[in-house]
Amino acid sequence: MENFNTYKKYVVYLMVLLGGLLLGYLFFGQAKPAANDHVQHNEQNNYTCSMHPSVVNEGKGMCPICGMELVPMGNMDQITNEYRFTMSERAISLANVQTHKIISNTMGGEVVLAGEIALNENTNATQTTLFDGRIDKLHIKYVGEYVKKGQEIGTIYSPELYLAQDKLLTSSSYKDTHEKLYAAARNTLGLWKLTDKQIDDLLKSGKPIVNFPLVADVSGTVVEILGSEGSYYKQGDPLFKVSNLYSVWAVFQAYEDQLPLLKMGQEILISSEAFPSEPVVAKISFIEPVLDKGKRIVAVRANVANGKGQWKPGMFIKGKVKIEHTDKQMVMVPKSAVLWAGEHSVVYTKPKSSKPIFEMREVKLGEAIGDSYVVFKGLEIGEEVVTNGAFTIDAAAQLQGKKSMLYAKETSMEQMPVTSDKGAIFPNEVNDQIKIALGTYFELKNNLVSSKSLDAHNSAKKLDELLLQIEVSEGNAEFQSNMKLAKKMVKEILSEESLDQKRLGFKKLSSAFTYLADHVQGFGEPIYVQHCPMADNNTGADWLSLEKAIRNPYFGDKMLTCGSVTKVLD
């Protein structure tokens, strides 16, 4: 009975509450506000979600989609273009967004350059033939052999030399009566750089030498062999090249925007992966006066002493140049603030410190100095940039339909694949064709790793035939864009003869195949996206691999393990 009375009491309370709500609606719910009041209400009391602007609520609350705190729509009047948007304070706090105000900076830090060891051309020399003839023997067989001046390097058969010897022997029989004829015959052999000892030995033997010994007139380490046995050569034709490796050149590639930071006589710290603990200090001795129009680079050179022979021509090296502080004012931004969109870079600024408003800004960057980049265009001193949480802010921009890093201007749509979130599913037939093409892509990559130019060409030809079978009109715009890029780059690889040029084409081919690999279904094993920062003249390049271990296709055995895994595609 007691439970029944309690239940009855709660029913009465509920009926009273419902009755009150009904009376409130009848008395106040039908009242229409004045026009001015309606405008005031929308401006001051409507709230929206910074991540989902379609959500509009009369009053504060939480977004029913993402659970974020709603912000007054009055704040939206600050958003005047497609690059600017707002976020709630709660979203900013969750993303741990941090900003940094750009202040006046004086230049200082260091510039890092990539390069390689090259022969010192001032010490190079070429051994040539001294007279026409056929090389019967050539004792110099391999690169790296040391040749000393005066050393016998082979034998030559020369009809012209044979006649000159015979003439000298004939004139020697009447040299007492025809002294001038004898002297002329002897001088002829001297002009061909025969030594007095060779001429005296010839006169003693009394017989012309058929296979005449060749003597080196240069000294150094052989760096290239040009002659071969059994071939005919004219006077002055090169047989091999030598160089004195006690001194070599360190040749670096400097970009156009780095030139103001470099000058003759600056000290540069040179190191290599082979000898990381043995860097050497040299001075910049030459800066190339002409800019490469295609790559926008110049050569910067330093002389390096190589008494121990540790610096090998062709070895990849790194150089660091310290930049002293000057009175020159530079706009610099922390590296953590920069987002990369292909070859372009963007940052997010905060136009008003007191408002949760952000704006995407494309910037042109210069050299990296320490933990910052020099900014040539896009930012001014005094502006506030996001240094932490930029990726989250970019995601918020995409959700709100604003411009983001994915919409950064591209130099050429044919060269840059369209990016998209994973989830595109190809038709079954196309999906199977892409899986087969991926297998041939890995075959091409392995041949580039092994530096097998002919095998790489054959793999590219096979891949070209496979890609031609895939219908480009199938699938979405992202697929069509990347497939067209893949087909174009395979053609370019096939048209190039040098292995280096094939590797440049492979860089763009890998961009397209990264998209295809990320969206293909049922491949059966993980695919590793790997990156080398030194590829393509230090601009960096990606590639795909079925192995986690790094095997660099852009350098082969020169820098086989240069790179790291940046992503795993399941």
3-state secondary structure 517-548: HHHCCCCCCCEEEEEECCHHHHCCEEEEECCC
Q: In terms of domains, do 208 and 228 share one?
A: yes
Which pairs with CB-CB distance under 8 Å and at least 24 residues apart come from 372-376? 372/105, 372/109, 372/332, 372/333, 372/334, 372/335, 373/332, 373/333, 373/335, 373/338, 374/257, 374/330, 374/331, 374/332, 375/330, 375/331, 375/332, 375/333, 376/257, 376/331
pLDDT tens-place string over residues 64-91: 655 666 766 554 444 445 778 888 888 8
Q: What is the spatial distance between Cα 301 and Cα 120, in angstroms, rounded to a whole number?
A: 10
Is 275 in the same domain as 338? no
Q: Which residues contact 348 (CB under 8 A, 6 or more apart)?
A: 337, 339, 358, 359, 360, 361, 385, 386, 390, 393, 394
CA distance 151 to 140: 11
CATH, residue 146:
2.40.50.100
Among 223, 243, 263, the domain-final residue is 243
Instruction: Please check whether residues 14 and 68 belong to one and the same domain.
Output: no
What is the tens place of the pLDDT at every residue in 25-34?
433 343 333 3
All residues at 6 or more sequence positions from 291 whose CB lies less than 8 Å from its CB, including other chains: 256, 297, 298
pLDDT tens digits for 223-235?
889 888 888 888 8
pLDDT number for residue 304: 93
Each residue of 416-438: pLDDT tens digit? 343 443 444 667 778 888 888 89
93 falls within a domain: no
**In terms of pLDDT, which residue wins out, 421 or 455?**
455
113 domain residue, yes or no:
no
Predicted pLDDT at 549: 86
Q: Where residue 208 falls among pLDDT bands split at 50, 70, 90?
A: confident
Judgement on whether residues 448 and 403 belong to the same structural domain of the protein: no
Shared domain for 432 and 565, answered yes or no, is: yes
Q: CB atoms < 10 A from the CB of 414, how many?
A: 12
Give the model's pLDDT for residue 147.
Answer: 92
Domain end: 217, 243, 269, which one? 243
Report CA-CA distances (Å) from 391 to 18, 365, 396: 49, 19, 9
Tell me if 423 is assigned to some domain: no
Confidence of residue 268 (pLDDT cuts 50, 70, 90): very high
CA distance 495 to 504: 12
**Residue tagged 């009848």 (tokens):** 26
* Residue 422 is assigned to a structural domain of this protein: no
Q: Are residues 532 and 559 in the same domain?
A: yes
CA quadruple 99, 102, 105, 107: dihedral sign? positive
Residues above pLDDT 90, as percent of the chain: 11
d(CA 3, CA 353): 61
Q: What is the pLDDT of residue 258?
A: 75
Is residue 457 domain-shared with residue 564, that is, in the same domain?
Answer: yes
Name the CA radius of gyration of the chain, rounded: 38
At 28, the amino acid letter reads F
pLDDT of residue 22: 47
- Check whether 11 has a pLDDT greater than 90: no
Where are any strands of DSSP class E within 259-356?
267-271, 280-287, 297-305, 316-323, 329-330, 332-334, 339-341, 344-349
* Residue 218 placed within a domain: yes
Tally the domains of the chain.
Answer: 6
Q: Are residues 194 and 252 in the same domain?
A: no
Q: Tell me what the mean pLDDT of segment 501-530 comes to.
A: 87
What gap in Å lies between CA 228 and CA 245, rounded to an integer? 24
Residues 440 and 520 in one domain: yes
Q: Does residue 24 sit in helix, strand or coil?
A: helix
Task: Classify residue 418: in a domain, yes or no.
Answer: no
Residue with the two structure tokens 């001194």: 247
DSSP string, 457-490: HHHHHHHHHHHHTS-TTSS-HHHHHHHHHHHHHH
Inside any domain, residue 336: yes
- Please tell me whether residues 61 and 169 are part of one structural domain: no
- CB–CB of 502/496 below 8 Å? yes
Better-scored residue on pLDDT, 64 or 372: 372
Mean pLDDT of 436-458: 90
Q: Where does a domain end: 212, 243, 274?
A: 243
Q: Is residue 89 part of a domain?
A: no
pLDDT given at position 538: 74
> What tokens appear for 126 in the block?
């070429």
25-42 b/e (C-beta count within 10 Å ≥ 16 → b): eeeeeeeeeeeeeeeeee
Q: What would the pLDDT profile of 116-175 be if each residue is shown by its tens digit? A: 999 998 888 898 888 788 988 998 888 889 999 888 888 888 888 888 878 888 887 777
Does 214 lie in the same domain as 151?
yes
- Residue 249 burial (10 A CB sphere; 0-12, 13-18, 19+): buried
Contacts of 335 (CB under 8 A, 6+ apart): 368, 371, 372, 373
Q: What is the pLDDT of residue 40?
A: 38
DSSP result, 208-277: --SEEEEE----EEEEEE---TT-EE-TT-EEEEEE-TTEEEEEEEEEGGGGGG--TT-EEEEE-SSSTT
User: Which of residues 485 and 410 earns the better pLDDT score?
Assistant: 485
Q: Which of 36-40, 89-93, 454-458, 510-514 has the lowest mean pLDDT?
A: 36-40
Amino acid identity of 205?
A: S
Lowest average pLDDT, out of 115-124, 470-479, 530-539, goes to 470-479
Q: Which residue has the tokens 């062999």?
A: 225
Domain with residue 444: its CATH number is 1.20.120
Domain span at residue 61 reads 38-78
pLDDT for the residue numbered 249? 93
pLDDT digits (tens, 9 = 90+) for 158-201: 888 888 878 888 887 777 777 788 888 888 777 777 777 878 88
Verify that 272 and 296 share a domain, yes or no. yes
